[in-house]
Structure 1
Amino acid sequence: MNPNSPILGIDLGTTNSLVGVVDSGFPILLADENGSRSTPSAVCIAEDGTITVGAVALRQRALHPTRTITSVKRLIGRRPGEGGWVPPYVLSDLQTTPVEVSAEILKHLKAVAERALEQSVSQAVITVPAYFNDAQRNATKRAGELAGLEVVRILSEPTAAALAYGLDKLGEHQKVAVYDLGGGTFDISVLEMRDGAFQVLSTAGDTQLGGDDLDRMLAGFIAEKLNLSAKDIRVLEAAESVKKRLSVDEAASFDGLDITRAELEKIARPWIECTRLHCLRALSDANLKAEQLDEIILVGGSTRMPLVREYVRELFGREPNTSQNPDEAIALGATIQAGILSGSLRQVLLLDVTPLSLGIETFGGLMNIIIPRNTTIPAKAGEMFTNAVANQDSMLIRILQGERELAKDNWELGRIEVPFPPGPKGSARVGVQFSLDADGILNVLARDTATNQDTTLEISGTAIDVEDERVEQMIAESVDLAFEDMNERIWTEAKLKAEELLPAVDAALAQLGESVEVRACAAEVRRLLDLPEHDARALKAANQQLDDATQSLAVMLIERAMEESLARRGLV
């Protein structure tokens, strides 16, 4: 990349968005013509099709609530109706999409940068929540392209914040947690910084938890007190304003209603408690205790609340680091990453991870992991698979993402069908390779080794066929249901083993005659297979007993085959 061609760093936020660039070796955030570095992530589409963006659009919300689009980040990369949150506008009525709305915000940021730099720009690093899945990352990338930008990197927000924090500490070795509570999403990431290298050890979060939710809860409280509608835009805007004032003052008022910080904190307590499990899981995944962390970094506008800071202090047992502006840290990190990619900054290396495991479905409906969760990206891994039944003429490869033992409990990201000549069981050989690029986008290659014919698939937003809110539930379910899942996996593997053993045993008995011991062991295996409840360990033990009992049959079959061979040769 040409160092003379600047690459923008963009924080495309739920509530506000920012843009920056490295100038003379220093990352700076760029201001618009009004001197504001922060642009409201709002787009208003007038009846005549005129589009306004930012503060101008936000001022239209009270007059045109159904034509003013805010918090579109919660919709990008998702299918209609997913997520539970219902905005006051309908994008289809406005003849637009989340990608197109996001593109308008990015166009505005591009224009801000070009005005400030007095030159055209065409490349950008754009941040997304660490827990954004493949569809959401791809949709963000498409929005950038629609805005006339080549998106050279999709960067996780907590990683960007840690990058901003660590730029002046290149000689130190630290482990930090980034607690990122923004307008629409929550992320917690644990990172290790050593000699200028940043590696994400673990990440967790909720793509549907943020300040917007607290605004609606407070709006409901205000509406109930004043006998108003909680859906009234005026009430929602008042709730947002009151929330911000209560981060500084002990009391605020709206239409004669006095609201204290204590009342807000009572409303907010269940909301902030939702972050607890994610924080504990991130620590567990990183194999760390809270006291082993060097810093807890707060990011996101919602962390300005005294309650949030107090909660983080209690949870991690230490004072959180508030040295960075929580509203600007992510944009600053994106700008630093952009500087690294353009060659303007050369001292820092960034290593990100994938938040969920990736794999395929194997015979019996099991999940076979190819790239484990928390693998540093970019990453590449593969395995060889074979046909499970005779005369099979193709292999359907279902690409899965998730942490559950059974394929049906994970997300299907896409599928590939690989044809091959029919043959005996185990005759086909299909190599499957997963490649995760630096943006967290997955490419899958399947190769029939007999013909060297390749089938490829790039996972895109349209390939996701599950509800996106499973992101937040996936790891919690894998922990809560670990015993049941493992039991079902052991059962499935034992069942496949039994179904392979029994026909072979029956064939041996038909040749060699009855064996009371073998017949009894086979009967026990069949009994366990027929039971409505799945006793995995009992079936596994019964398989072993049957296998042991048939050892003598195997010896007899070999001896008989040798005798028959000698007889045919006239040696006996």
Structure 2
Amino acid sequence: MAKIGINIATGSLQKEEMIVGIDLGTTNSLVAIIHPESRQPVALKEHNSSSLVPSVVHFGDAGIVTVGEQARELLVKEPSNTIFSAKRLMGKSYNDVRNNAHLFSYKIIDDNTDSLVKVQVGDKFYSPVELSSFILKELKERAEHILKTPVTKAVITVPAYFNDAQRQATRDAGKLAGLDVLRIINEPTAASLAYGLGLQKEEEKKIAVYDLGGGTFDVSILQISNGIFEVLSTNGDTYLGGDDFDNIIRQYWMESSGLEKEVFENDKQLLQEFRLAAEAAKKALSKEDNFSVTIREMAFTITKQQFETLAKPLVDKTLHACANALKDAGLTQQDIDTIVMVGGSTRVPLVKESVAAFFGKPVHDEVNPDEVVALGAAVQADILAGNNRDFLLLDITPLSLGIETMGGLMDVLIPRNSKIPIKAARQYTTQKDGQSGIRVSVFQGERDLVKDNRKLAEFNLSGIPGMPAGLPKVEVGFLINADGILVVKAKELRSGVEQSIEVKPQYGLTDEEVEKMLLDSVTHAKEDIATRALVEARTEGEQLLASTEGFIAKHVQMLTPQELQDTAAAMQALQLALTMEDKDLIHKKIEELNEVSRPYAERAMDEAVGSAMKGKKI
């Protein structure tokens, strides 16, 4: 007998499962669905509460993880255990974020490599994927609580400028949270769908999506034709948002109060009180002409006009980005048919007026700007569920396609549900000096280890000229043509050696087999990600041992006896850690070996630079 879920909140009969739309934001995140009765998109929320869940994760004693409002309240009290803006770290290495590392109050690991950045909390190490998965899990549980029905499938939105690695990281986070991620869609596309744009096949439009969130700003120019969304250009500033509008009010009051900067450095609570009051002022001035507040018996006021004078340079910055986006798309303001406003900060009247004046036409802001992206994701989810028959979905790949990399890991080049025809490529290199061949093994499936996926093909790229490890550049490219035939090519870019293979369409899998592979990927997500993290940590550790050994053999005369002794001990400790099943321990020993070797590695670098300056060969 089939179970029927009844939603107590709406009293409506529920389906066995629903596909939800999720906006995973830098500042706030939320879930939306298409209401089964009204057929309209709605953001899910408990009675009298907000639909927004702050994208903040707090790690407490005994491994207790809290997400959302409760965690946000601990940002001031426990900054090193409270992680915010994890989205900014998605798919990034330390080298990508080093210039902004000071903006984070928690510890970002500087391992000077191009591997994915890690965040240290106590003696545990978390990747941005794990951090985002805690937020997604909270959203999933919240949705299940409100809908009284299981939620296992989702459409998740990402910024238009997210690259392949960042999109894959978002997919992995969903999988780790127990969600089958049916699609990753661009935030501006979702916002347009929420306004019903692109739902008519014959519609041809050019749209500007202006998205000013809590911590980030971006503008995207889209072209819609035949129900297909194409991003023509995107521009913005990942460190400009509503927080900056709060800051200018806070600065204005702090200067007028005559309090020294040191007072705020020593009293974080006072700083937070100013910040919250400034946020309240910004919101009030969207409707009122004046705002007054008392902080610790000091009275402060600000008028709408004063606020707008202070805010104008920030708004001008966003308009400059709009002009650049138009230029990149080869368009003028007159070419844009519709302007869609996204993000809570677009409620500031000055922002709306300035954007409308810039484009020379009124802006769309009827839909709640905080919810518009999630609502659009719900529209897309409804199309995927087959409830919206008017909308054509292009043919798609049923399962992810990728190749085997070190440690037997699956590296996905084409994620499942990608529209075909599609092309994707990625560069790899050799692991050993003088390696003359590379084996390319092609797999299909959603698990992290290739042994759990289905092998489709394998070939050797041989004849690579002998070079040191890491020097050859082998580009592996996947192309699926309109008939669903996959062509895999491998080419060594320095020498031009290449080889390709054709893999037949649809790969002979029945719907049941596809369904089973997807189900397995979700049920085994936790152990898969743990295994992947362990394999990656071991690979990183082995590479560090090999490079340290090579370095010492070459520069032994530069090291003091003490340094040699400390390095040997650190190497031995790392070697031992590699034999254990504990990724945090391996990362810890990698960090310790890096600490020991940093001083003499820097000396060697200085000496090499000095020799080069004198014209000597290094």
Give the TM-score, by structure 1 length.
0.61
Q: Which residue among 162, 177, 187 is the counterpart of 2:218?
A: 187
> Which residue is 2:129 aligned to?
99
Alignment of 1:204-219 (within 5 A): 204-219=235-250
| Alignment deviations for residues 391-419 of structure 1 (CA, whole Å, 9 cap, x no partner) | 99679xxxxxxxxxxxxxxxxxxxxx954
3-state SS of the aligned residue for 1:82? helix
User: Are positions 1:285 and 2:301 aligned together?
Assistant: no
> Which residue is 1:202 aligned to?
233
2-side partners of 1:240 and 1:121: how far apart?
34
Gaps of 5+ in 2: 1-14, 108-118, 395-418, 427-433, 439-459, 467-473, 482-486, 503-531, 537-618
3-state SS of the aligned residue for 1:121? coil
Deviation at 1:9, TM superposition (A): 0.6
1-side partners of 2:241 and 2:178: how far apart?
29
Alignment of 1:25-44 (within 5 A): 25-32=39-46, 35-44=49-58
Q: Which residue among 130, 135, 139 is the counterpart of 2:160?
A: 130
1-side partners of 2:222 and 2:59: how far apart?
41
User: Are positions 1:229 and 2:264 aligned together?
Assistant: yes
**Amino acid of the structure 2 residue aligned with 1:42:** V
> Which residue is 1:248 aligned to?
287
> Which residue is 2:477 aligned to?
433
> Which residue is 2:188 aligned to?
158
| Alignment deviations for residues 177-230 of structure 1 (CA, whole Å, 9 cap, x no partner) | 111111122222222334544333333333332223333444333333332527
Deviation at 1:451, TM superposition (A): 6.1
Judge conservation of contact 2:490–2:498 (CA < 8 Å) in 1.
no
1-side partners of 2:477 and 2:236: how far apart?
28
User: Are positions 1:322 and 2:355 aligned together?
Assistant: no
Judge conservation of contact 1:291–1:316 (CA < 8 Å) in 2.
yes
Judge conservation of contact 2:490–2:499 (CA < 8 Å) in 1.
no
Deviation at 1:89, TM superposition (A): 3.5
Deviation at 1:283, TM superposition (A): 2.0
Return closer, same or farther for 1:421/1:37 CA change in 2, 3 Å cut-off. closer
Return closer, same or farther for 1:335/1:69 CA change in 2, 3 Å cut-off. same
Return closer, same or farther for 1:380/1:451 CA change in 2, 3 Å cut-off. closer
Judge conservation of contact 2:192–2:198 (CA < 8 Å) in 1.
no
Deviation at 1:142, TM superposition (A): 2.2
| Alignment deviations for residues 228-269 of structure 1 (CA, whole Å, 9 cap, x no partner) | 527633333333222222222222234211122333333322
Judge conservation of contact 2:217–2:237 (CA < 8 Å) in 1.
yes
Return closer, same or farther for 1:127/1:444 CA change in 2, 3 Å cut-off. farther
Alignment of 1:48-63 (within 5 A): 48-63=62-77
User: Are positions 1:17 and 2:33 aligned together?
Assistant: no
Return closer, same or farther for 1:137/1:253 CA change in 2, 3 Å cut-off. farther
> Which residue is 1:307 aligned to?
350
2-side partners of 1:381 and 1:100: how far apart?
26
Alignment of 1:542-557 (within 5 A): none
User: Are positions 1:82 and 2:98 aligned together?
Assistant: yes
Alignment of 1:269-418 (within 5 A): 269-349=312-392, 379-380=422-423
2-side partners of 1:55 and 1:381: how far apart?
40
Deviation at 1:302, TM superposition (A): 1.0
2-side partners of 1:350 and 1:300: how far apart?
28
**Amino acid of the structure 1 residue aligned with 2:327:** S
Deviation at 1:14, TM superposition (A): 1.9
**Amino acid of the structure 2 residue aligned with 1:49:** G
Count of residues in Structure 1 that have an aligned counterpart in Structure 2? 400
**Amino acid of the structure 2 residue aligned with 1:86:** L
**Amino acid of the structure 1 residue aligned with 2:98:** E
User: Are positions 1:239 and 2:278 aligned together?
Assistant: yes
Judge conservation of contact 2:198–2:229 (CA < 8 Å) in 1.
no
Judge conservation of contact 1:185–1:208 (CA < 8 Å) in 2.
yes
> Which residue is 2:85 aligned to?
71
Return closer, same or farther for 1:435/1:31 CA change in 2, 3 Å cut-off. farther
Judge conservation of contact 2:198–2:226 (CA < 8 Å) in 1.
no
> Which residue is 1:118 aligned to?
148
2-side partners of 1:194 and 1:421: how far apart?
45
> Which residue is 2:609 aligned to?
none
1-side partners of 2:329 and 2:43: how far apart?
32
1-side partners of 2:26 and 2:498: how far apart?
50
Moved more, 62-71 or 104-113: 62-71
3-state SS of the aligned residue for 2:98? coil
3-state SS of the aligned residue for 1:275? helix
Structure exhibiting the larger radius of gyration computed from Cα positions? 1
| Alignment deviations for residues 267-326 of structure 1 (CA, whole Å, 9 cap, x no partner) | 322222222333123223333221122211111111111121122122211221212211
Give the TM-score, by structure 2 length.
0.56
2-side partners of 1:185 and 1:350: how far apart?
31
Deviation at 1:71, TM superposition (A): 2.9
Judge conservation of contact 1:74–1:184 (CA < 8 Å) in 2.
no
3-state SS of the aligned residue for 1:120? coil
> Larger relative CO (CA 8 A, sep 6+): 1 or 2?
1
